[in-house]
Amino acid sequence: MKIKLLLLAALAPAIAAAQTPNFTISGKIGNLNKPAKIYLDYSAEGSGRTDSAELVNGTFKFSGNISGIASSRITLSREGIRDKEIYGTKGLGDVIYVYFGKENITITSADSLYNAKWTGSKVYNEMKAFEAQVGPTVMTVHHNANVTINRATPEQQKDTLYFKALDKQVQAFRKSRGEKMLGFAKANPNSYFALQALSELVGGYSTKPEVALPLFNKLSETLRLSYGGQTLYKLLNAHTVTALGASAPNFTQNDVNGKAVSLSDYKGKYVLVEFWASWCSPCRAESPNLLKQYAAFKDKGFEILGVSVDSDKAKWLEAIKKDGLTWPQISDLKGWDNEARKVYGISGVPANFLVSPEGKIIGSHLIGEALNKKLAELLN
């Protein structure tokens, strides 16, 4: 008994250390009270979490443990409805996307989260310095464009030339940011944001691996071996794995009933491997077209295998039911850390791969009419 007590006493400091938060984010935004809530969605090194806090006279506090640097989305809802603020405000929601580390951070603002001042975060300051060099994020550019549209006169909102001019500005900002991110990655191989720049270029700008890989190889060893670095490395090499004519990598995940399902189970059929998520609006918008194509071709040797990058099973099941999806659905419920997503090098959803009866990839990223045309060619 004495030995057991000694062991417990020795382990106590380690247990206490494991439970001690290594970051805090506290703040005050105006004098907001219930029902106002603030939401923190964050992930670091492949592990993610969602947290929320009610505002009391404008004050709130989050704390937790992270490994490395966390990417996050912070949402302030005066009604206490997170999804409405993110998806239902036509891009005008009080939502920000930021990075933070193992730090004690304070956020203060007289009116909104979007205009809040950050103190105590070296990572946040580095992020702002990065943005000062390469330009605002895509989310910020679109937010500002939506503000402009919201302020437009009724005549302007009916004018197609007005919208074309605004879109031209947005595309110019985006092009400029892409060019500057390449320069930043070249000049700052030890910066965490050089890795983020390359990840954004490959995932959001379709920068070719032959352009990004030499820059990736010049990053510091710490960055290359980090979770984000290894994820990007797989993505840079995925083009060979999922090239047209390549054998589709097999994978196995559980269906909605917990039964293991493999891609190889569908050999002998044309299979559309459809990566999606319940929270992805463009994915859900494609559901009616997929339903139409599935009904037209399922009796002609066509199948769809839905692969969800959700982490919340209840929301996954709810989306399947609400959209009326009738084809097989699988997920490992690891969210963006989904193993099949990593193997296939998916940088965003929706994304898909069309696999032949022989197990070869014969199409990719077929959305809307592009999918309809391809299936008609193969199966009519």
The residue type of 316 is: W
Residues 76, 96, 248, 283: which is the catalytic one? 283
Closest by CA position to 263, among listed 273, 275, 276, 277:
273
Q: Provide the CB-side half-sphere exposure for 359 (13 A, CA).
A: 12
Establish whether 283 is a catalytic residue. yes
Antiparallel, parallel or unpaired: β 270-276 and 260-262: unpaired
Peptide bond into 350 cis (omega under 30): yes
Find the helix or strand (DSSP H, E) in which 8 lies: helix 2-19
Buried b (16+ CB within 10 A) or exposed e, 222-249: ebbebebbebbeebbebeeebeeeeebb
206 contacts: CB under 8 Å, gap ≥ 6 = none
Estimate the share of the chain in helix, then strand, then coil, as percent rounded to the nearest 5: 45, 25, 30
The residue type of 119 is: T
Q: Provide the CB-side half-sphere exposure for 307 (13 A, CA).
A: 31
- Cα dist. 154→150, 162, 163 in Å? 10, 11, 13
Antiparallel, parallel or unpaired: β 260-262 and 95-100: unpaired
Residue 88's Cβ-count burial label (10 Å; 0-12, 13-18, 19+) is exposed
Measured N-to-C along each axis, helices 192-204 and 122-134 cross at an angle, to the nearest 10 degrees, of 50
Phi, psi of 97 (to 5 degrees): -120, 115
- Cα dist. 23→104, 117, 181, 209, 239 in Å? 6, 18, 29, 35, 37
The residue type of 104 is: N
Closest by CA position to 203, among listed 170, 245, 231:
231
Active site residues: 283
